[in-house]
C-alpha cells in the first residue's frame, strides 16, 4: 500500500509512487459481500463493542483514519530512530530519558 521505506509524503498520502495504491483494494472491497466482525473502543468509555460491517464499510472507515494513523506511525518511527542514535552515541556522562504522554485528552 506504501513505499517500502515510508517517507513523510507517503504518510501524508502525497507520494506520487504510492498514494493511489489504495484504489486497488477499494475495488476489491466494493465487490465483496462478506461481513466482518471486529471490536472497537468507544469514545469516552473504557469499553469496546463488537461491530459487524461489510468489507466496503470497514474499508471506508479505515481509509478515513489512514492519514492520521500513518502520520502517527511516521512520527513514532522518526522518534525511535533518533532515540536509537542517541543511545548508540551515549557515553558514561549521558542520561537519556524517554517520557511518553497520552494524546487522548
Residues at the site binding Zn ion, with contacts judged by CB under 5 A: 3, 10, 15, 17-18
The CB-of-77 to Zn ion minimum distance in angstroms stands at 14
The CB-of-6 to Zn ion minimum distance in angstroms stands at 7
Q: Phi first, then psi: what are they for 49, rounded to 5°?
A: -120, 155
The CB-of-68 to Zn ion minimum distance in angstroms stands at 17
User: Between residues 21 and 84, which has the closer beta carbon with respect to Zn ion?
Assistant: 21
38 contact partners, CB below 8 Å, separation of at least 6: 50, 51, 53, 58
User: Between residues 78 and 87, which has the closer beta carbon with respect to Zn ion?
Assistant: 78
Burial of 11 (0-12, 13-18, 19+ CB in 10 A): buried
Amino acid at each position: 500500500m506504501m513505499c517500502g521505506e515510508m517517507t513523510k509524503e507517503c504518510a501524508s498520502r502525497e507520494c506520487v509512487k504510492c498514494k493511489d495504491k489504495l484504489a486497488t483494494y477499494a475495488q476489491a472491497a466494493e465487490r465483496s459481500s462478506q461481513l466482518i466482525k471486529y471490536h472497537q473502543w468507544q469514545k469516552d468509555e473504557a469499553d469496546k463493542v463488537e461491530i459487524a460491517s461489510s468489507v466496503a464499510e470497514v474499508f471506508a472507515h479505515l481509509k478515513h483514519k489512514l492519514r492520521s494513523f500513518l502520520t502517527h506511525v511516521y512520527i513514532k518511527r522518526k522518534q525511535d530512530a533518533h532515540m536509537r542514535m542517541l543511545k548508540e552515541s551515549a557515553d558514561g556522562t549521558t542520561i537519556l530519558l524517554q517520557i511518553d504522554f497520552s494524546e487522548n485528552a
